[in-house]
Amino acid sequence: MPDSNLAGGLSNRSEEQVSGAKVVAQALKTQDVKYIFGVVGIPVTEIAMAAQELGIKYIGMRNEQAACYAASAIGYLTGRPGVCLVVSGPGFIHALGGMANANMNCWPLIVIGGSSERNQETMGAFQEFPQVEACRLYSKFSARPSSIECIPSVIEKAVRSSIYGRPGACYVDIPADFVTLQENASAIKYKECCMPPPVSMAETSAVCKAVSVLRNAKQPLLIIGKGAAYAHAEESIRKLVEQCNLPFLPTPMGKGVVPDNHPNCVAAARSRALQFADVIVLLGARLNWILHFGLPPRYQPDVKFIQADICAEELGNNVSPAATLLGDINAVCKQLLEQFAKTPWQYPAESKWWKTLREKMKSNEAVSKELASRNSLPMNYYTVFYHIQEHLPRDCFIVSEGANTMDIGRTVLQQCLPRHRLDAGTFGTMGVGLGFAIAAALVARDRSPGQRVICVEGDSAFGFSGMEVETICRYNLPIILLVVNNNGIYQGFDVDTWKEMLKYQDASIASPPMCLLPNSHYEQVMIAFGGKGYFVQTPEELQNSLRQTLADTSKPSLINIMIEPQGTRKAQVRIHWAWWRYTPLIPALGRQR
């Protein structure tokens, strides 16, 4: 008779085997993950390859930080987390910036990090680092599966945690020995794809109280945050604005939920609207630094806030709200509309408040137009942005980062569609631009081929992730990079002043900290990788280059736009920077002068 133990052993050896890398990939596929961004190496290369075999799009980036920014933007744009795949130690640490940014912005993100082998822990293994512990400050959930069989359940929980409640970053640690370790395929049980987050509604009594407070407002204001954009609340918010005739103000990434060109948008009178409103409704917007904490002198001391947010902990931050609406922003807005439908109410168009806001808007818009119409060279910010605005496709994504570049661009570049603007966000992060643009271009390509991404960068901001231009060209993404170049951080110097300074001292002493090399040809970076590059100094050159890049969808492009180095947000008059004012800090230079 045959030996039963021998027969069983032969059966086990012949059973199909699967590697840990393939289990990770299949678990991600099961959870409807469509995009992975990363920089591969030991021990995660096999995970990226396994993901590609399953049809998950892997985008190889040049830096883990940019990869993490891209993955988080996918989460915001699609509602399902993107994945950032990184190697152990330094690769993981580089991704922490992206995790922190995602958590601050409340965007879904999964980071999968390779780590050292389990049997080498505490021995000084290659790139050994306490990764699970390190990222707890930057994530909602952080775990290492205890076995290959546990990988699917841990990944399912990470995906679910990233999108449920207040969205955020989650981390899954994969030891190096798991990646190649083989396991019987039949032992792996994949979890079903987690459902979209449940839709929560505010208490009816809270909704009634909010409606009562709003009805009694003399000077109401609606503030639309990116939480409203993420909640896809555009239809209900627009109805609320129009039915109640409410003035509204979008936060930077709340732009487009209701189009910027809507007659009730008072963005051009932002300071006046905030300072004198007596009732403010916050829809997915936080009273943080972007909204001056809701405190005087930017607001009236007795202003009444109505807060609507998905996160209970956010309600009551910095202020004592008159009403709090805990729930999904879209659902809450529908509740408000239902109450107003029972007893219709509309804020009077002939009110003094509307007159005040419109007069201020008209005045500020006139100042901006006057600045934009100046013919002096170099160009100023307003001239550049008004020409860009004239050429923007209505459905394009706009990515913006920088200091003055982002702030002024937000006031001039109009947004007509929700979730079509990405910028430095709640964390004020520089370096996000190219990663965000890559994510937006991938989403645009999948949804609407031919849709463009316009990435507007300050020259300093571009420097943080400029090598991602190679990534853009490698995947031939429909991105137009506009580098608004003032030769510095906030402000810079012209070539003549720069050369004059260096006559007296080496640059490490004579050059102010905000100065960058004048007239740097960033467009050559794009040309080096096969894209199109333009160096422009006049409005005519800017217009021509915009027409050419928008007409040609075959290649990505970069337009390097030279502007007044001393340009600011206010009336921009050319200032001949007195560089010798730095001489008290530079004794040697002071003695020579």
What is the per-residue pLDDT for 501? 79
Give the position of tokens 């709340």: 254
Helices 381-391 and 352-372 pack at an angle, to 10 degrees, of 100
How far is Cα 153 from Cα 473, in angstroms, rounded to an integer? 37
Tens digit of pLDDT for each residue in 123-159? 787 888 899 999 999 999 999 999 999 999 999 999 9
Q: If DSSP codes are grouped into helix, strand and coil, which group holds residue 513?
A: coil
Tell me: pLDDT of 441 over 60: yes
Return d(Cα 261, Cα 431) in angstroms, integer. Answer: 29
Region 31-60: mean pLDDT is 98
Place of tokens 């129009």: 242
* Across 465-482, average pLDDT: 97
Per-residue pLDDT at 568: 66
pLDDT of residue 129: 87
What does each C-alpha distance from 365 to 14, 260, 268, 493 come to in angstroms?
75, 14, 7, 29
The predicted model gives 161-170 an average pLDDT of: 97
What band does 502 get if pLDDT is binned at 50, 70 and 90?
confident
Judged against a pLDDT cut of 50, whether residue 166 lies above it is answered with yes
pLDDT for 69-84, tens place per residue?
A: 999 999 999 999 999 9
pLDDT level of residue 593 (50, 70, 90 thresholds): very low
Q: Which long-range contacts (CB under 8 A, 24 or more apart) does 356-362 make?
A: 356/272, 356/276, 357/247, 357/266, 357/269, 357/272, 357/273, 358/269, 360/268, 360/269, 360/272, 361/266, 361/268, 361/269
Q: What number is the average pLDDT over the span 434-442? A: 98
Res 583 pLDDT > 60: no
Q: Tens digit of pLDDT for each residue in 173-224?
A: 999 999 999 999 999 999 999 999 999 999 999 999 999 999 999 999 999 9
Per-residue pLDDT at 126:
81
Q: Is the pLDDT of residue 52 over 50?
A: yes
Closest CA to 64 of 32, 43, 36: 36
Spatial separation of the C-alpha atoms in residues 547 and 586, rounded to whole Å: 47
Say what the pLDDT of residue 570 is: 54
pLDDT above 50 for 433 = yes
pLDDT classification of 571: cutoffs 50, 70, 90: very low
Mean pLDDT throughout 252-266? 97
- Mean pLDDT across the chain, nearest whole number? 92
How much is the average pLDDT of 526-539? Answer: 98
- Name the residue with higher pLDDT: 349 or 119: 349
| Most confident range, picked from 1-10, 347-356, 367-376, 568-577 | 347-356
Average pLDDT over residues 326-344: 97
Could you tell me the pLDDT band of residue 543, with boundaries at 50, 70 and 90? very high
Q: Tell me 62's DSSP state.
A: S
* pLDDT, tens only, 291-322: 999 999 999 999 999 999 999 999 999 999 99
Q: How confident is the model at residue 590 (pLDDT cuts 50, 70, 90)?
A: very low
Residue 254 is classified by DSSP as: G
Pick the closest to residue 135 from 63, 41, 64, 31 (CA basis).
64
- What pTM does this model have? 0.92
Cα separations in angstroms, 18 against 32, 150, 374, 497, 528: 20, 14, 67, 65, 42
Lowest mean pLDDT among 258-267, 325-334, 558-567: 558-567
29-33, 346-350, 446-450: which has the minimum mean pLDDT?
A: 446-450
